[in-house]
Chain A
Amino acid sequence: MITITNIKRVGSEKTESVTIEGGLIKGWNLPTDQQGEGQVIDGQGGTVAPALIELHAHLREPGQTEKEDLSSGLAAAAAGGYGTVVSMPNTSPVVDDPAIVRSLIEKANSLGFARLRPAAALTKGQKGEELAELTYLKEAGAAMFTDDGRTNENARTLRLGLETAGSLGMVISVHAEDATLRADGVMNEGPVSEALGLPGNPAAAEAARVARDIEIVAGLHAQGVPARLHIQHLSTARALDLVRAAKAQGLPVTCEVCPHHLTLTDEALRSFDAIYKVAPPLRTQADADHLLEGLQDGSVDCLATDHAPHTRAEKERDLLDAPSGIAYIELAFPLMYTRFGETLGLERILDLMTAAPARVMGWDEPTLDAGAKADLVVLDLTTERPVNPAEFKSKAKFTPWAGETLKGWPVLTVVDGKVAYQR
């Protein structure tokens, strides 16, 4: 049994306490005799919310554990206030085998950090040719199917996958980027890429693929075939407009946006620092503004970080050779709250990082009511503190926001009624 005292629920100024027992929320403001013999934790006046849910993280296990592993990645997630993480299957080997799904879940459970819900590959080896054994993967505990890291060039395979996953009640998420249009592009195509002499990746590479995928869903929908498509890390205004139109037609299409696409633009590449190399690339301020509007008007469903750790040596290569990805699961909430607390409001940001991802996945929406699962985070919304990569739990101890002063830091994360992180 754990009791957390000295906390406030979102939207309330009242100082309260919550008692947790057996992995569930036992109740609020229980008299001391009902708090039992358990541990009492001072919430330091923080704001309590359901633990955050991450739909898109690369934890690199198995096979690339020099970049990250389950232990470092899930500890980082817990430090970032996350209770649940969906990991991407583009590991080595690829997560296309039920045995790998089971072993990942088992190992994660033994660690006691954030809960792992692995995504499995949509196609064998993520090669985009043959569907993986989706039924068995679901049985093993896969949370969804995706070939993220690859771009589903074969439209027919994606269609078959949507049919199969749909019949299983599962979501397919896609890295929507036409690889032939992207070609050798390493950053957003535009005046900045031309000035820097770097090969550009046009906005049309994303929009064209989103349009194609929406059409596939529309075709299935018209035939009454259930299919659920989730578009990952949307980065361009045009692609968002296509998603808007699809939603207006009632199509089962959802999308996520990453904080780095809201807070950074292609101008950052003028440093030639590969830390800013991501896929899809950082776009223009106009794109970022449009995505923010999408978060305000509900056409963007949720936030996800695309936490993508690499070794420092890999990121110290030149921009052509360095791999894509930023790792910042520990900063996502403070970054969003500091930059957009005024624009979006605390409650909207929290919704985008808790209930909204649950809705995308078709999971129960998290609550703090008595009887609910005890997954929660206590956030210090006032103390400002500089980002210090040396403190990161992630193996990727570098970030574009190093030294930047942020507020909204998680001070306590509880997962399944147990302390997964405490500052």
Chain B
Amino acid sequence: MGARPPHLLDFQDWTPERLGAILDNADTMLQVLDRPVKKVPALQGLTVCNAFFENSTRTRTSFELAARRMSADVLTFAAGASSVSKGESLRDTLEVLTSYKVDAYIVRHHAAGAAHLVARYSGKPVINAGDGRRAHPTQALLDAYTIRQEYGSLEGKKVAILGDVRHSRVARSNAELLPKLGAQVVLCGPTTLLPPGLAQMPGVTLTTDPREAVRGAHAVMALRLQRERMSGGFLGSLQEYADTYQVNDTLLKEAESGAIVLHPGPMNRDLEISSDAADGPQSRILKQVENGQAIRMSVLYHLLVGRN
């Protein structure tokens, strides 16, 4: 299976076998979540620090529940609510947290690479919960898991990802992960939001044509569009964007029949995704949230159990 990577920062050091083991393990975790008592003692006695330098209630809650369901103690550090913020280096902040005897860090930060720095400075296992535009690996794992649930495997599957690719850590992480598991990824969006450099990633192609992107796809993912991108000059108007790139029933006709619809949430309904597509029979958006907890339990287990 290859060496066990000490952190989940992105997928660079992860073999397909290790990634497969995380997905397999998530099946077990889903069963735990179906029990009347949704708790196992796997991480008893360990303290996991939720270090959120950037707000994200959804992701934080998902990680927190995952850790508690494995019986870990959870220390929550939110930079906004703390006196520790501007001016202090990431390293100084970590030294404070380290003195609380933390066993693992879950890190969310607005800057790409911040989770790598935490890994370097803390010496403890780090799970990247989203760093700038760089990576959001547990989101990509839960996406992969949701697709696998549907088709049994990712081998030979085509996944179309539409929207603001430039600023999306979800797009980058999926583009890194899915090809490792045998899928083909097409990234699609307006030219201003589709950096050509990403075409160099193995198994990834780019297109500005949404019909071409979705044609024959087994899964279609809409990315959240940040409204402030308008002022950055990336788009003529939100209406123009929606008319061209919205994931809706018309566009989905180009996909494989029964292709599933994904969205990392929270959604701008009727902007990047139509309500029909978001709530329709092909949507797996709520399933993603449920799977997210199982995946995060599985990742915590993989990184923390059986380690000296």
Chain A interfacial positions (CB closer than 8 Å to B):
190-200, 271-273, 313-314, 316-321
Find out whether the CB atom of A319 lies under 8 angstroms from the CB atom of B197: no
Which single residue of chain B is at the shortest CB-CB distance from A193? B197
Find out whether the CB atom of A198 lies under 8 angstroms from the CB atom of B132: yes
Docked complex Cα distance between A24 and B113 (Å): 53
Question: Is B57 close to A, CB under 8 A?
Answer: no
Which single residue of chain A is at the shortest CB-CB distance from B109? A318
Docked complex Cα distance between A190 and B197 (Å): 6
Instruction: Determine chain A's interface SS by DSSP, over half rule.
Output: loop
Measured between C-beta atoms, what is the minimum distance from A318 to chain B in Å? Answer: 3
Find out whether the CB atom of A197 lies under 8 angstroms from the CB atom of B172: yes
Which single residue of chain A is at the shortest CB-CB distance from B92? A313
Which 7 pairs from chain A and chain B are nearest by CB?
A: A272-B113, A194-B197, A197-B134, A318-B111, A197-B133, A320-B111, A316-B89
> Contact check: which of B89, B116, B201 meets A317 at CB < 8 Å?
B89
Find out whether the CB atom of B89 lies under 8 angstroms from the CB atom of A319: no
Question: Is B90 close to A, CB under 8 A?
Answer: yes
Q: Size band of the B side of the interface?
A: 20 to 34
Measured between C-beta atoms, what is the minimum distance from A390 to chain B in Å? Answer: 19
6 new A-B contacts, CB < 8 A, other than A193-B197, A195-B200, A318-B112, are A200-B195, A272-B114, A313-B89, A313-B92, A318-B111, A320-B110
Question: Is B299 close to A, CB under 8 A?
Answer: no
Residues in B neighbouring A272, C-beta threshold 8 A: 112-114, 116-117
16 contacts between A and B (CB under 8 A): A194-B198, A196-B112, A197-B132, A197-B134, A199-B133, A272-B116, A313-B89, A313-B92, A317-B89, A317-B90, A318-B90, A318-B109, A318-B111, A318-B112, A318-B114, A320-B111
Measured between C-beta atoms, what is the minimum distance from A325 to chain B in Å? Answer: 16
Given contacts A313-B92, A318-B90, contact A195 B201 (CB under 8 A): yes
Measured between C-beta atoms, what is the minimum distance from B229 to chain A in Å? Answer: 13
Measured between C-beta atoms, what is the minimum distance from A137 to chain B in Å? Answer: 33
Residues in B neighbouring A319, C-beta threshold 8 A: 111-113
Which single residue of chain A is at the shortest CB-CB distance from B232? A183
> Contact check: which of A191, A194, A197, A200 meets B135 at CB < 8 Å?
A197
CB within 8 Å of A: which B89-131 residues: 89-92, 109-114, 116-117, 121, 131
Given contacts A196-B134, A197-B135, contact A313 B112 (CB under 8 A): no
Docked complex Cα distance between A23 and B225 (Å): 68
Residues in B neighbouring A197, C-beta threshold 8 A: 112, 131-135, 169, 172
> Contact check: which of B88, B133, B201 meets A198 at CB < 8 Å?
B133
The contact string, 1 if C-beta is below 8 Å from chain A, for chain B 166-199, is 0001001000000000000000000000011110
Residues in A neighbouring B113, C-beta threshold 8 A: 196, 198, 272, 318-319
Find out whether the CB atom of B117 lies under 8 angstroms from the CB atom of A318: yes
Find out whether the CB atom of A321 lies under 8 angstroms from the CB atom of B111: yes
Which single residue of chain B is at the shortest CB-CB distance from A318? B111
Residues in B neighbouring A191, C-beta threshold 8 A: 197, 200
Docked complex Cα distance between A319 and B111 (Å): 7
Measured between C-beta atoms, what is the minimum distance from A218 to chain B in Å? Answer: 31
Residues in B neighbouring A195, C-beta threshold 8 A: 197-198, 200-201
Which single residue of chain A is at the shortest CB-CB distance from B173? A197
Docked complex Cα distance between A246 and B198 (Å): 36
Find out whether the CB atom of A316 lies under 8 angstroms from the CB atom of B91: yes
Residues in A neighbouring B200, C-beta threshold 8 A: 191, 194-195
Residues in A neighbouring B109, C-beta threshold 8 A: 318
Measured between C-beta atoms, what is the minimum distance from B39 to chain A in Å? Answer: 35
Docked complex Cα distance between A283 and B1 (Å): 37
Measured between C-beta atoms, what is the minimum distance from A51 to chain B in Å? Answer: 37
Which single residue of chain B is at the shortest CB-CB distance from A269? B113
Docked complex Cα distance between A197 and B174 (Å): 13
Residues in A neighbouring B135, C-beta threshold 8 A: 197
Residues in A neighbouring B110, C-beta threshold 8 A: 320
Docked complex Cα distance between A314 and B198 (Å): 30
Residues in B neighbouring A318, C-beta threshold 8 A: 90, 109, 111-114, 117
Residues in B neighbouring A190, C-beta threshold 8 A: 197
Docked complex Cα distance between A318 and B121 (Å): 12
Residues in B neighbouring A321, C-beta threshold 8 A: 111
Residues in B neighbouring A273, C-beta threshold 8 A: 117
Residues in B neighbouring A193, C-beta threshold 8 A: 197
Which single residue of chain B is at the shortest CB-CB distance from A199? B133
The contact string, 1 if C-beta is below 8 Å from chain A, for chain B 188-221, is 0000000111101100000000000000000000
The contact string, 1 if C-beta is below 8 Å from chain A, for chain B 76-95, is 00000000000011111000
Docked complex Cα distance between A192 and B112 (Å): 13
Pick the most buried of A197, A314, A317, A321: most chain B CB atoms within 10 A of its CB. Answer: A197
CB within 8 Å of A: which B226-258 residues: none
Docked complex Cα distance between A195 and B133 (Å): 10
Find out whether the CB atom of B134 lies under 8 angstroms from the CB atom of A316: no
Docked complex Cα distance between A185 and B293 (Å): 35
Which single residue of chain B is at the shortest CB-CB distance from A187? B112
Measured between C-beta atoms, what is the minimum distance from B220 to chain A in Å? Answer: 23
Residues in A neighbouring B90, C-beta threshold 8 A: 316-318
Residues in B neighbouring A198, C-beta threshold 8 A: 112-113, 132-134
Measured between C-beta atoms, what is the minimum distance from A372 to chain B in Å? Answer: 47
Measured between C-beta atoms, what is the minimum distance from A168 to chain B in Å? Answer: 41
Docked complex Cα distance between A198 and B196 (Å): 14
Residues in B neighbouring A196, C-beta threshold 8 A: 112-113, 134
Docked complex Cα distance between A316 and B113 (Å): 12
Residues in B neighbouring A316, C-beta threshold 8 A: 89-92, 117, 121
Measured between C-beta atoms, what is the minimum distance from A197 to chain B in Å? Answer: 3
Docked complex Cα distance between A197 and B91 (Å): 21
Measured between C-beta atoms, what is the minimum distance from A254 to chain B in Å? Answer: 33
Residues in B neighbouring A313, C-beta threshold 8 A: 88-89, 91-92
